[in-house]
Structure 1
Amino acid sequence: MARKQTFKRRPNKAGTVVKLSGKRRKPYCAKITAGRDQITGKQIQKSIGTYETWEEANDALTLYRLSSKKIITNQEAQALEPDTFRQIMEIREKDMPTVAELYSKIEVEYVNRFSAGTQRRYKACYKRLKEIHDYKINKLTLPKLQDIFNSFKDKVSKDSLADTKVLVRKIFEQAIIAGAITKDDDLTTYINVESTYKKFEVKHSSFTLSEIKKLFEDNTFEAKLILIYIFTGARPSELLNLPRKNIHLNEINEAKEVSYIIAGIKTQAGKNRIIPIHEVIKPYVEEILGDKDTFMPYFQKVPYEAYKRDIFNKTMKRLDMCHLPHDTRHTFSTLCELNNLNVYTVKRIMGHKFQDLTKDVYTHVLISNLYDEIQKIKVF
């Protein structure tokens, strides 16, 4: 009986040679580790070719390792073993992932774990890389990447470019994990993210009386919602997901019919506070609430971001106004001051903490008093 042939074991992480079953012209398969299974942790191996002898397969692995680790250049490797090198390169290029393929994996395993806003930011970053989506990861060069970043330096902020650089780093990391490239091939360290972009900043300012009148005249759903914010002084996110049980319309309090909202976030003084509803916006509250269980269920997932993007900013652009969402709260405070409302009543409605602890803790303002006070606001 012939003695079983044994071969010297290769060093760890240097690949392995296995003999395939059956009668084959090239029975020896050279395999390298191409990553690890995310669940089991086991090595994922891929073949770099089959050979007639164990020695040829072993030499192929050595050649592959030397060239991939940049110990020798591709030209030197080709000069040593032209046929073996050509076979290795054909397999390497065939399995080499593109930027788009690497991003699709990152999107599932990394990007989708974040909030909707962060996901949009990463998708915007990926869109900036459109020019290299179909590039094989090993074909990317620093000049190519830098050209892309330079093309956006006067269009987006430094923070946005920095986010894009983070995404590029994640793409390279994914390629390293997959065994497509080595750590030495990661080019992100050298990408410059300097930016000359200067964003036009809108400063906080109250709506003028003429602008408030323009919102009333517009009479759209968006304008009505903005007016509700102006006449309640509520923060943008305080009303969007407000449950129906917190909206009290036409209730009898102290022998008087009143309407009010119980809302509030952020501070102890601001939570669960009573916000009286001004008569001019009561029809709008009734209309928007309708028979729904929440005031604005559309905004349940990303309330502030969706309101700002889809409602507020679009309305400001359409009506040629220049404001930020929080300006409605500033406007409420200004209207209260112009109409000489009681300062402690205004603080209570807006959820501000009193410096006078006696008034803050021991003065119990009735709902009817708050309601009467808010009706003093006149804009026409």
Structure 2
Amino acid sequence: MNKRLKLPNGFGSITKKSGRRRKPFEIRKWIDGKQKVIGYEVTYESALAFLCEYNKNPLLFSPSEITFDELFCLVKAYLYPRIKERTQSSYNCAYKHLNRLYDKQFAKIRIGDLQSAIRDIHDSGAGYSTQKKARQVLHHMYTYAVKYEIIPPEKDISRYIDIDKDKKVYKKTIFNTRQIYKLFRATDEHRYAKMILMHMMLGTRPSEFLAIEKTDVKLRQRYLIIRESKTEAGRNRIIPLHKQTLPFWIEFLAENNKYIATDNNGIHLN
């Protein structure tokens, strides 16, 4: 982000303290005529989220003057504490492609402006996935703006954004029996063959498999619990363990790592 949001009078202040601190961002607020410290946070965004939650009133910002860049700062403060770091990172990357909108007053942005930003992404060589992620960022911003009355509901134009169609680079096919047996034969020499089989027999998303903690694997009862998932329905679901992969689970549980999917140095593969 090129600049930080100018906080309105009476909203409070955020200051980064010098030195090596675990929570360097100090949050202050005028209370009873005195400026008092009300908290410390690790990042500016989390400090702003704390301050927004304390004030409970984003309308302290002038709806008619707030820029696209300033609104994104507010959305980050509101949204990022609720999503995973990987999703935050992908949103930040997508937001960089929307730089032509940064200084525009949000309430005056038109669909042509949004389409021009998407066209910039196309012209840069980025494809469907990047455009889709940018559209998601815009959707979050317009949802926030409507919720806090920065724009009226009928001004939510994010639903009208067109992006390129998804082009399948290659056709996905399931492993056949010959390939599966080949993986089993490779498990004596290749650690990752075991991981592939463990993952394949579970049928989980890659992100779900990477997030499996050893405490969630119940060997005696032959099942595990998926705690982290992309969807609400996918969280805390129980999946049985395939009997042919049980030796692999026993081996991985014996290692001194928190997560099942780690490399030989105990680094979480994510």
Larger of the two Rg values belongs to structure: 1
Larger helix fraction of residues? 1
- Greater length-normalized contact order (CA 8 Å, ≥ 6 residues apart): 1
| TM-score (ref. length: structure 2) | 0.48
